[in-house]
A and B are shown apart, each in its own frame.
Chain A
Amino acid sequence: MKNLVLLFMLCTAVLSAQENYTVSGIIKEAKNGETAFGASVFLKGTSIGSISNEYGFFSITAPKGTYTLVVSYMGFENMSQEITLDQNQKVNFEMEEASTQLDEVIVVAEETERANLKKPEMSVSKLNIRTVKQMPVVLGEVDVIKSLQMLPGVTKNGEGSGGFHVRGGAADQNLVLLDEAIIYNTSHMLGFFSVFNADAIKDIKLYKGGIPARFGGRTSSVLDIRQKDGNSKNFTFTGGLGLISSRLAVEGPMFKDKGSFLIAGRSSYINLFLKAADEKNRLGFYDLNLKTNYKLNANNKLYLSGYFGRDSFRFGESFRSSYGNASGNIRWNHIFNDRLFSNLSLIYSKYDYDLGITDDEFDWISSIKNYNAKYDLKYYASDKFKLDFGASAIYYDFDPGQVRPTSETSPINPLSLDRKKALESGLYINAEHKLTDKLTAQYGVRLSSFSRLGGQAMVDYANNQPVVYNNTLGIYERGTEIGETNYEKDETIKKFSNLEPRASLAYQLNENASVKAGYSRSAQYIHLLSNTTSITPLDVWTTSGKYIKPQISDQFALGYFRNFKDKIYSLEVEAYYKTTDNRIDYIDGSDLIGQNTIETEILHGEARAYGLEFLVRKNEGRFTGWLAYTISKAEQRTLGGIAGGPGINNGNWYNSAFDRTQDLSITGAYELNDKWSFGSNLVFQTGRPVTYPNGQYQYEGQSVASFSDRNSDRLPAYHRLDVSATYKPNRKPNKRWKGEWVFGIYNVYNHKNAASISFTQNEDFGNNEATRTAIFGMVPSVTYNFKF
């Protein structure tokens, strides 16, 4: 580690030895003052350039001289300015939106959505919120998570499932960040809608591999979602009325032009219909996004943002349940000098659920909270060398479950599962190093560590085996408790440390093509416990510790990137191979609900995934869109290990629940004229692995199914076609009110995609039968969106 730092410093020193000067600044959109993330800034006629960061900041260092500084940001007019570099200087840009002539509508993909040939960054997909909004969606609810599954290597377990799967990974292996706050549950209503309100979001970046060293804690992907800053020029209102929910966002300048704010809310109104229909049941969700920023001076800016979302359900008077995420953070951007940019973030996030049972008079509550401090710095050493470094610490407080009787007469005894506390910290350094004109490298390392903190007792097991293989019966059983060890508050139960190297290389073959290669290692210390087919809001997270080991993943990727026909088309091909150690799987008959000793229900296994991804994009013209195709395999193997015995499925490799052999998605948008535009999605996926019966027998007067090996069958293939049409009524150019109608049909040919297939005995006839549950058939929708 020390040597590495030394090496970096050496490089930096050598590279900055020439007589160089720096130009830096902030790029914004002129119309609303939003900072522009991913605008490219370069010196005309040279290969010296930079991409603006999340806060719109750029910095370019070049030898003394006179240059033309050009800024290009797709969808906006290029801007340029003559500069004379004889001293360090600041230049800010405000980008004007590209004017489109009435009969010549040109839609251009974001620069950063195209294949980026020079940067070694690979396995990254950036989606602009405008692209997401163009896609047809179920019930007219714009859905960030669903739009991700149109990308290669990303799948979702059909409609009725929260989360998403990246390159054969589980949903809990995705780090989902909303303005840097960790979001533990990404879905409303069990996965039918996502928690992200598109009106509050600026952009979305998904790292499927080659995760930058500044991120840690998850092995599969990072989904980095940034909220809008809020319009700093004018007050604007954005909103929409849909079939399920309606939205309203207000944004505008604040603090005498030194800042701006955004408040966005969304609420479902299913309850109104239920009430009207005299139904006793209730269900609904809402969320609220807040953001504000304040510019202290040219070098200091503060951001405050928050998210609060909740789902609630009530079944008559008997049951009620609610769950949701809440997060808040404060960030301080500080520009030390032209070359050193820093951001300090203090973040709080929480996920909790509760369940109230009226009959038996008790509540069940569970939560996970974390407090996170992060300090990230970027040093633009020279045009050839940039350095990211920083540190982070997360304090976790898990409350896996508490039972609280709500009355004296409740038959339920109070109970508290052990609270779990832990500290996860990370230190990282990463360099982006242009070795030659054609070869750029990115290399770095993250040192992560995790301490499971004391303040509780841990059960001890005979032979240190929480799970034991029963040789006689051929099953895994809970180990024998022989006592417990008490850990004081200031004691650490268990500590882990991991060095996570991350590196990638881009070699530009010619003007239009490049190859890239990458390797990354990542460690994951917290795990979502779920032995059900789909994850549910009631699943709980647990920590690594005395008995549960952290997951360690290694990923190798190789890619070929090419632009065609003046960048109108682009092609990205990537191959990956990924292994994960210590992937948890559950013993047969595991019981996770109200379980204080999770270690007695699990075995540690390993997982591997490999695949080939193709992405062809048309970036410009009336018709834009892409075709993504993935062929892949995801398997796992769970040996008995310390518990003895052969393990799950006799110790053989088996399909992981997220394995999809083939995955094809096509998405397209067509602008007919300035009034009408159309969108369409086509999805085809191999069915997901499931376990079917392989026989039956009579027991207790019923037919009992015997089941085959875990995940050795598959649901039928999933496919559907969606279409949408957007109509913008005639507008007077000066009128502030802008409205549009969006008509959509989800699953046009009404294909009954099996969310699950259930095998039961018919109650009336006694025969065995297979019942398919399909969630959405054809769903038409109408939404009205407005802005003023």
Chain B
Amino acid sequence: MKIYFKLTILFLTIVFTSCEDVIDVDVQTGPSRLVIEASLDWEKGTTGNNQTIKLSKSTPYYDTTTNTGVTNASVRVTNDNDNTEFVFTHQGNGEYTTTNFIPVIGQSYTLEVVHEGETYIANETLMPVVDIDGITQSIESGFDEEDLEVNVIFTDPEEQENYYLFKFHKQGDLLPVLEEGDDEFVNGNEITWWFEKEEDDETDKIEAFLPGDTVNIDFFGISESYSNYIGILIEQSWGAGLFSTTPVPLRGNCINTTNADNYAFGYFRLTQVVRTSYTFQ
């Protein structure tokens, strides 16, 4: 629903926006924080035993160093019901893995990260996701009527509130595109979620999908609080345009129990995910 408002406004803005250019702008530099990317995603049809948690440090906004992995932390996840402990061991460059994680739908887990004497704790529940009923392509839907879009069709369960995350990654693109949705206006219905890539008028490069292009699709079931988090993150990644919501500092669910002010970025999420791909005809 929100997307329609945004698109309408976006359209109006485009109409009048005569010029956009990249300029140098000085920004402030905040404190460097620990970043916890603890995404325990259980792919449907797998055991979900292999999981990775990434730890890194935040950098100044324009910094281009990528080697920010945190190598000296200890990481473990506990099943809150039976206290089973899954220890994640460091594999290099800030990646911590386990091969024996046991995912249980609806189960809550606790993450504990100890880094430089400070302990970070997060708590989250593993959310299920429905199956994808079908994937189609079309031209006339979507924002632009001349561009191809992919349609992901699924049926929203009526009995509870559902929150979804999509990750579309066109093969060959540097960056994936995240989209988030919920069933507020569509509860219990069959939902067709379209995705298309917009042409950029500024460049001659062809951005839109063409026959033969393949797009990887990840379809996650997520919790309400993660939906709030990722929703803000996605919106802010579009940039703060004229009619965008004022950007806000984004707080995840990882709490520093030693020193609350030194909170961590990132999120401890547990999801079920359908991973698939689609090649345009």
Which residues of A are at the interface with B, using a C-beta cutoff of 8 A?
A: 160-161, 189-190, 192, 280-281, 283, 313, 315-319, 321, 355, 357, 359, 364, 403, 411-413, 415, 472-475, 531-534, 536, 538, 586, 588-591, 593-594, 657, 690-702, 704-713, 752, 755-761, 763-777
Contact = CB atoms under 8 A, between A and B. Distances in A.
A766 to B, nearest CB: 6
A190 B245 contact: no
Contacts of B5: 355, 538, 593
Given A283-B12, A764-B205, A773-B17, 10 more contacts: A190-B13, A280-B145, A531-B246, A588-B232, A696-B59, A757-B25, A760-B237, A763-B173, A767-B64, A771-B239
Contact of B247 (A315, A590, A691): A691
Contacts of B190: 411
Interface of B: 1-2, 4-5, 7-9, 11-13, 15-25, 27-33, 35, 37, 39, 54, 56-64, 66, 68, 140-145, 167, 173-176, 178, 184-192, 194, 205, 228, 231-233, 236-251, 253, 255, 260, 263, 265-266
A758 B240 contact: yes
Nearest to B236: A705
Contacts of B20: 771-774
Contacts of B174: 763-766
B189 A413 contact: yes
Contact of A710 (B27, B64, B246): B246
A534 B242 CA distance: 6
Sorted from nearest, which 8 A-B pairs have the closest CB atoms?
Answer: A758-B239, A694-B30, A588-B248, A697-B58, A770-B25, A760-B239, A697-B35, A694-B28
B8 A411 contact: no
B127 to A, nearest CB: 17
Contacts of B30: 694-695, 706, 708
B175 to A, nearest CB: 6
Nearest to A157: B242
Nearest to B58: A697
Contacts of A192: 16
User: At the interface, is chain B mostly helix, strand, loop or mixed?
Assistant: loop
Nearest to B203: A764
B37 A700 contact: yes
Contacts of B140: 317
Given A697-B58, A760-B237, A763-B175, A355 B19 contact: no
B27 A775 contact: no
Contact of A708 (B12, B28, B184, B236): B28
Given A536-B243, A697-B265, A160 B13 contact: yes
Contact of B4 (A355, A690, A711): A355
B251 A474 contact: yes
A701 B11 CA distance: 28
Contact of B21 (A280, A475, A534, A752): A752
Most chain A CB within a 10 A radius of its CB, from B5, B54, B57, B141: B5
A710 B248 contact: yes
Contacts of B23: 757, 770-772
A357 B246 contact: no
B92 to A, nearest CB: 16
B56 A758 contact: no
A758 B18 contact: no
A407 B228 CA distance: 31
Contacts of A586: 246
Contact of B186 (A413, A711, A773): A413
A755 B242 contact: yes
B242 A533 contact: yes
B176 A701 contact: yes
A708 B141 CA distance: 38
Contact of B265 (A694, A706, A713, A765): A706
Contacts of A355: 4-5, 8
A769 B239 CA distance: 10
A777 B18 contact: yes
Most chain A CB within a 10 A radius of its CB, from B15, B29, B191: B15
A473 B253 contact: yes
B25 A415 contact: no
B62 to A, nearest CB: 6
Given A533-B241, A591-B2, A772-B21, A472 B255 contact: yes
Contact of B9 (A536, A706, A768, A774): A536
Given A189-B16, A708-B28, A759-B61, A589 B228 contact: yes
Nearest to B35: A697
A534 B243 contact: yes
Nearest to A314: B11
A79 to B, nearest CB: 49
Contact of A313 (B11, B32, B205, B265): B11
Contact of B18 (A712, A760, A776): A776
16 contacts: A313-B11, A318-B143, A536-B243, A588-B232, A588-B248, A695-B29, A695-B61, A696-B58, A699-B37, A699-B265, A700-B37, A758-B239, A764-B174, A770-B23, A771-B21, A772-B23
Contacts of B238: 758, 760
Contacts of A692: 25, 27-28
B241 A589 contact: no
B144 to A, nearest CB: 7
Contacts of B266: 697, 699
Nearest to B7: A319
Given A355-B8, A759-B240, A776-B18, A699 B27 contact: no
A588 B63 CA distance: 26
B240 A313 contact: no
